[in-house]
Structure 1
Amino acid sequence: MNQPSSPRQLTLRAVVLSIILAVVLAAANTYLGLFAGLTIATAIPAAVMSMGVLRVLGGGTILENNIVQTGASAGSSIAAGVIFTIPALIILGHWQTFEYSWVLAIAGLGGLLGVLFSVPLRRSMIVEEPLPFPEGKAAAEVLKAGENPGPGLKILGIAAVIGGFVKLAAQSGLRLIPDTAAASGFFGKYLGYMGTNLSPALLGVGYIVGLNVGIVVLSGAVISWHIAIPAYHAMFAATDPALAGIGAEDAAWTIWSTQIRYLGVGAMLIGGIWTLFTLRNSLLSGIRSGIAAARQSRDTVIADTERDLPMKWMLVALVIFVIPLALLYQAVVQSWGVSIPMTIIMIVAGFVFVSVSAYLAGLVGSSNNPVSGITIATILFASLVLMLLLGKDSPIGAVAAIMIGAVVCCAAAVGGDNLQDLKAGYLVGATPWKQQLMLMIGAFSCALIMAPVLNLLAEAYGIGAPTPDRPDSLAAPQATLMASVARGMFGGDLPWTMIWIGAGIGAVIIAFDEFLKARKSNFRVPVLAAAIGIYLPLELMVPIFLGGLLSWLVERRHGVDPHDEEARDRVHRPGTLFAAGLITGEALMGIAIAVPIVVSENPSVLAMDGRWNVGEIGGLIVLAIVAAWIYRVAAKRSS
């Protein structure tokens, strides 16, 4: 039987445009990540750019634009996977420069494995048990608005201008408003800290994920910042030399970075295992259905929207991609008795943490996905096994653990991103296998340029702690953390007490969520969402919660039944469009700001005179205005 023709998707011009955007956005994100410790999601900016370019070339279909944003989104995920881990090899002194073939193997093969591992997850996380995937939903709204211009495009455009302007005015741009507003102080032995990020994009993420997830992630942050940090300060301030003579805010961040964030690592470890266990039937179902689809006759009609990459070719590709990594590990440790277990660890941890990463991306979006926490968990697990094989004092043990963590980090970043793209494709009627193939092309294209970009930045600035010769060295905060964790496992110290306490907290949260499930409560407490809140800074969780609160207020205004998904989506469509615009505008402006910073080699190149800075109060007023604007648009348009 012949299938009905579908709109153009995987065209040559879409592939070429996607590769160009992916490479450019990967380079920009590499600098920003090493400099500021964060990357900017590139799927939505790529979708906007694609619509503009293809319109000039004679117009593109919504599915063609979706293919472009799918491949280009690899720019941020490959950049994140690389900069969170590979610079640790420089910091550990194992490398003096970034070796091209090694970086290509780690980033390229890790990214390809991330796509392969995430293919069976599509049915379970998008079709059978749909997660929000806020950025995927936002990308779909952007694509729909571009396909059908009108009021939706106007909402999107206004919001994008607002998000872009606020980003330009923030610390990385004109420095008219700060990135955060915070207050701290000592109350006897109690250390108090409260802060919020002033990013409109985080408000948008919160609006899309809703109040339930907003409450859970904020509750996790409260555990860290309002319970654990004050308790640690009260008990150990007098004996911890790192806390001597510093202010309340510096003390809070020191305690969080050296001790309390490891609670989140422990919670993430137990939460990842539990999530994989609870998804086991869906994952097996996805694998079985993929194998069944591959066995079906060519004459059998399968809807384009249900066609994944064939399972048999995935298994062949998995073997082909793993062999070079096994050879790479052999070159590091010079022992097949160690390199083969390293490869097995990489495969097992890769699949487990791609699943965890995809689930987390489904909850809070790729931009807020704590891939660094997932990588720490991988390095801890790999180090425990390597200690048995190499010994605790092995000089190569830390490097071997980083090598495993780097591949898994790239796979996890790309895997979460792939599910986000597939969610957008599911909402606009795309063909999954074409998206999966495009992401593989985009990921490998980005891997080709990572080593030259890293070497360029290392030569211009330096990487790691500042030195007299490199006073403005790029801090690479995540890679520095990975190096300290790996070094701590082989001859150093790690806060194991915090990791075990975090695992216990995760177990309690799982038990509470199961209790709510048994009572058929509408409110749930997903453990990984709570672990995100524990692991990430409080200031990121506050605007996500506020955005979720706005979403709930809109539902209350219109009396929406929380069980009626269709009614909820209809009511939230204008607000979701506005939220998508905020994310789009901030991401586009963030990348635009990176260009003069890289060209001038001056992070303050756009900064205005300090007297124009309106301070934290001004920043809070701006955020309040944006929040009121979201509510007004959602409430007015919905009616």
Structure 2
Amino acid sequence: MASPSPATPQLTFRAVLLAVVLAMILAAANAYLGLFAGLTIATAIPAAVVSMGVLRLLGGGTILENNIVQTGASAGSSIAAGVIFTIPALVIMGYWPDFKYWWVLGIAGLGGLLGVLFSVPLRRSMIVEEPLPFPEGKAAAEVLKAGENPGPGLKILALAGSIGALVKLAAESGLRMIPDNAVGSGFIGKYLGYMGTNLSPALLGVGYIVGLNVGIVVLSGSILSWNIAIPIYQALFMGSDPELAARVADGSAADIAGAIWSAKIRYLGVGAMLIGGIWTLFSLRNSLASGIKSGLAAARKGGGLAVAETERDLPMKWMLVALVAFVVPLALLYQAIVGSWMVSIPMTIIMIVAGFLFVSVSAYLAGLVGSSNNPVSGITIATILFASVVLVLLLGRDSPIGAVAAIMIGAVVCCAAAVGGDNLQDLKAGYIVGATPWKQQLMLGIGAFSCALIMAPVLNLLSAAYGIGAPTPEHPNSLAAPQAMLMASVAKGLFGGKLPWTMIAIGAGIGAATIAFDEWLKARKSHFRVPVLAAAIGIYLPLELMVPIFLGGLLAYIVERRHGLSLDSDEADRDRAHRPGTLFAAGLITGEALTGILIAIPIVVSGRADVLALPEAWHFGSLVGLVVLAVVAWLLYRVSVRNGGAAESVAKPSA
């Protein structure tokens, strides 16, 4: 396919406006999803489909305009991830009573813009000279090139979005027709048994997108927590923990399991995440050094040469000016926190160095496994640990502000790393379709800052309606915010706080064993892998959240078999086979998440969690909820396989 002409419209007003609108919508949806389930999804492909449909209604758009829209809109997932993984920790720690608008805007906006700047020198080395796969970038490019008829894709998105919205409206936070979870628990002798599933279509969609491998790993982590560690603790150690035993003396089996998980067992996940974050950096040390060196060398070499329109990055001199312009406000922000230039200047230096290093790590990982599987939370843990050690030396371990300062550094780096990895993914798609890099880089900066504008109001709305962090009597089904809870725990633990270090140490041992097992699988060239951070998320989160993710992954596997695909099938064939299902899954996620945000408005205004609830006669049990989830799964399967010739068109011949 010939590259578009350099004169083909790209950064048009309508493309920029549509990108900003989609970025804000998708950022809000991903914020809800991330706080709920600890996962966010890449939004480039749904944004590209919507863009093609909207611009077609406006008279038709070029492939490069659609590429600009998906570039800007994809900032929604990265900024949301950077924010919800870190900033809620400041509320969880009690430093903020709510989310301060200008502070959140400063952290997210400046962090996102730094991510764009830090990623520019890496484009040539990672995409042009020694190209990495960037699977989601390739998939987005294929969608853009096949965009002559976006109508079916838009219909799939609209149908799935409506289904996700209706189920969320009927659930516990809305009309209360069906519960959020279907859970069974009890005692078998002395053994505490617990099993259940969340009834969320969004989690089913997440599972379909991440696939069976990740689904098995996260469910295995939860089974380790809920069906092995919790029963062992209850049977053997509950008697030596009178405070916890008194708290659940009159509770049900489910109450006891939840209390043990909250107070003790989830810290196994903390330890596993810590060791996973450190391992991520160590395993990438050579690739990181090589990527940074070749990226800077390419930028210096290209500075004085005339280059083609399809090879023009943002000018290095303007990048340096922008870097100074962005770093100065962050230095002032840190000064406002600690009140000492002797501390705020080292904080700023840590942020700059860690930001550039970890943007490079994030870009490399996105190139290998895609943005959706990019372990940004592990990168952020490493940043907070390093920052905390330095701040302990500067402020002392008993400093009341040390943990807050470490979270602030981690938040900026997390936003930068998330945006940086996403930027390279978008630039890969642009490279394939013949776009101009500097225009994409500018659009991503606009999209990132636009998303930062709405994050504080969205977080405040969700916090007031559902609660964020540990469950409370007021919000018994609060949004778990697992990464932010982890960041708060790590920072507080290093600055005089009390943590169950024995559990964290055991979790670190589990993480190390998981890494060793994964390396063994790698040496055997196994298709099945055990990413340690996915296992840690499973250990850390409630079991009922992981079950539908596993079921969605199982459904994706069944669809692959229906299409005649095998483990050795080409990734492009896999993408084509899953495209209708991926769009349906993305629609389920977006519809449910946006409805969750809309439902929060009357809850906050009225001050009543049951403001939308129907009379008791309309409340149905978990069995009806299970039937609804089964129907949604069946629809997802039907959409994924209904193209009659799909199997023949995408399957590779068997050997």
TM-score norm. by structure 2 comes to 0.80
Pair 1:568-2:562 in alignment: no
CA RMSD of aligned residues (A): 4.5
| Partner SS, residue 238 of structure 1 | helix
The residue number in structure 2 matching 1:339 is: 344
Q: In the alignment, is the contact (CA less than 8 A) between 2:288 and 2:361 conserved in 1?
A: no
Structure 1 residue 515, shift from structure 2 partner: 1.7
Pair 1:18-2:19 in alignment: yes
Structure 1 residue 519, shift from structure 2 partner: 1.9
Pair 1:609-2:610 in alignment: no
The residue number in structure 1 matching 2:282 is: 277
1:561–1:52 CA distance, 2 compared to 1 (3 A): closer
Q: In the alignment, is the contact (CA less than 8 A) between 1:265 and 1:376 conserved in 2?
A: no
CA distance in structure 1 between the partners assigned to 2:461 and 2:555 by the alignment: 44
The residue number in structure 2 matching 1:130 is: 133
The residue number in structure 2 matching 1:404 is: 409
1:352–1:601 CA distance, 2 compared to 1 (3 A): farther
CA distance in structure 2 between the partners assigned to 1:171 and 1:150 by the alignment: 34
Q: In the alignment, is the contact (CA less than 8 A) between 1:363 and 1:529 conserved in 2?
A: no
CA distance in structure 2 between the partners assigned to 1:247 and 1:228 by the alignment: 18
1:120–1:47 CA distance, 2 compared to 1 (3 A): same
Structure 1 residue 477, shift from structure 2 partner: 5.6
Q: In the alignment, is the contact (CA less than 8 A) between 2:111 and 2:413 conserved in 1?
A: yes
| Partner SS, residue 185 of structure 1 | strand
1:328–1:144 CA distance, 2 compared to 1 (3 A): same
| Paired amino acid for 2:557 | W
Structure 1 residue 630, shift from structure 2 partner: 3.0
The residue number in structure 2 matching 1:242 is: 244
Where in structure 2 are the equivalents of 1:177-576 lying within 5 Å? 177-240=178-241, 241-243=243-245, 244-245=248-249, 246-291=251-296, 293-294=298-299, 295-296=301-302, 298-301=305-308, 304=310, 309=314, 314=319, 317-351=322-356, 375=380, 378-415=383-420, 417-418=422-423, 431-448=436-453, 478=481, 482-483=487-488, 485-565=490-570, 566-576=572-582
Pair 1:582-2:582 in alignment: no
| Partner SS, residue 567 of structure 2 | coil
Structure 1 residue 81, shift from structure 2 partner: 4.1
- Number of residue pairs the alignment of both structures matches: 632
1:334–1:594 CA distance, 2 compared to 1 (3 A): closer
Structure 1 residue 291, shift from structure 2 partner: 3.7
| Partner SS, residue 588 of structure 2 | helix
Provide, for residues 276-321 of structure 1, a one-character-per-residue CA deviation record: whole Å limited to 9, x for no partner. 333344444544554455333654447x3x6655666555544443
CA distance in structure 1 between the partners assigned to 2:623 and 2:487 by the alignment: 36
CA distance in structure 1 between the partners assigned to 2:580 and 2:465 by the alignment: 45
CA distance in structure 2 between the partners assigned to 1:256 and 1:361 by the alignment: 32
Which shifted more, 43-52 or 175-184?
A: 43-52
1:336–1:376 CA distance, 2 compared to 1 (3 A): same
CA distance in structure 2 between the partners assigned to 1:210 and 1:128 by the alignment: 25
Q: In the alignment, is the contact (CA less than 8 A) between 1:87 and 1:476 conserved in 2?
A: no
CA distance in structure 2 between the partners assigned to 1:472 and 1:514 by the alignment: 41
CA distance in structure 1 between the partners assigned to 2:532 and 2:444 by the alignment: 29
Provide, for residues 598-637 of structure 1, a one-character-per-residue CA deviation record: whole Å limited to 9, x for no partner. 6656544443334333322222222222323333343442
Q: In the alignment, is the contact (CA less than 8 A) between 1:272 and 1:353 conserved in 2?
A: no
Provide, for residues 139-167 of structure 1, a one-character-per-residue CA deviation record: whole Å limited to 9, x for no partner. 77876786414555544444444333333
The residue number in structure 1 matching 2:651 is: none
Query: Unaligned stretches of 5+ in structure 1?
Result: none
The residue number in structure 2 matching 1:115 is: 116
| Partner SS, residue 186 of structure 1 | strand
Q: In the alignment, is the contact (CA less than 8 A) between 1:465 and 1:475 conserved in 2?
A: yes
| Paired amino acid for 1:615 | G
Provide, for residues 105-156 of structure 1, a one-character-per-residue CA deviation record: whole Å limited to 9, x for no partner. 32222222233445567775999453655xx788778767864145555444
CA distance in structure 2 between the partners assigned to 1:386 and 1:160 by the alignment: 46
CA distance in structure 2 between the partners assigned to 1:632 and 1:101 by the alignment: 46
Q: In the alignment, is the contact (CA less than 8 A) between 2:44 and 2:73 conserved in 1?
A: yes
The residue number in structure 1 matching 2:633 is: 627
Which shifted more, 257-266 or 121-130?
A: 121-130
| Paired amino acid for 2:592 | E
1:208–1:131 CA distance, 2 compared to 1 (3 A): farther
Structure 1 residue 194, shift from structure 2 partner: 1.8
CA distance in structure 2 between the partners assigned to 1:222 and 1:463 by the alignment: 24
Structure 1 residue 83, shift from structure 2 partner: 5.5
Structure 1 residue 376, shift from structure 2 partner: 5.3
Structure 1 residue 591, shift from structure 2 partner: 4.8
1:75–1:179 CA distance, 2 compared to 1 (3 A): same
1:82–1:629 CA distance, 2 compared to 1 (3 A): closer
1:615–1:429 CA distance, 2 compared to 1 (3 A): farther
Question: Percent identity of the aligned residues?
Answer: 76
CA distance in structure 1 between the partners assigned to 2:638 and 2:109 by the alignment: 45
| Partner SS, residue 193 of structure 1 | strand
CA distance in structure 2 between the partners assigned to 1:326 and 1:89 by the alignment: 19
Q: In the alignment, is the contact (CA less than 8 A) between 2:98 and 2:460 conserved in 1?
A: yes
| Paired amino acid for 1:346 | M
Q: In the alignment, is the contact (CA less than 8 A) between 2:280 and 2:378 conserved in 1?
A: no
Structure 1 residue 93, shift from structure 2 partner: 5.8
1:394–1:476 CA distance, 2 compared to 1 (3 A): farther
Query: Unaligned stretches of 5+ in structure 2?
Result: 648-655
| Paired amino acid for 2:630 | A
| Paired amino acid for 2:226 | W
1:544–1:432 CA distance, 2 compared to 1 (3 A): farther
Structure 1 residue 493, shift from structure 2 partner: 0.5
Q: In the alignment, is the contact (CA less than 8 A) between 1:104 and 1:451 conserved in 2?
A: yes
Where in structure 2 are the equivalents of 1:144-183 lying within 5 Å? 147-149=148-150, 151-183=152-184
1:615–1:365 CA distance, 2 compared to 1 (3 A): farther
Where in structure 2 are the equivalents of 1:25-174 lying within 5 Å? 50=51, 54-75=55-76, 77-79=78-80, 81-82=82-83, 85-86=86-87, 88-89=89-90, 94=95, 101-118=102-119, 128-130=131-133, 133=136, 147-149=148-150, 151-174=152-175
CA distance in structure 1 between the partners assigned to 2:367 and 2:184 by the alignment: 32
1:621–1:93 CA distance, 2 compared to 1 (3 A): closer
CA distance in structure 2 between the partners assigned to 1:367 and 1:598 by the alignment: 32
Q: In the alignment, is the contact (CA less than 8 A) between 1:81 and 1:411 conserved in 2?
A: yes
Q: In the alignment, is the contact (CA less than 8 A) between 1:262 and 1:502 conserved in 2?
A: yes
| Partner SS, residue 106 of structure 1 | helix
| Partner SS, residue 171 of structure 1 | coil
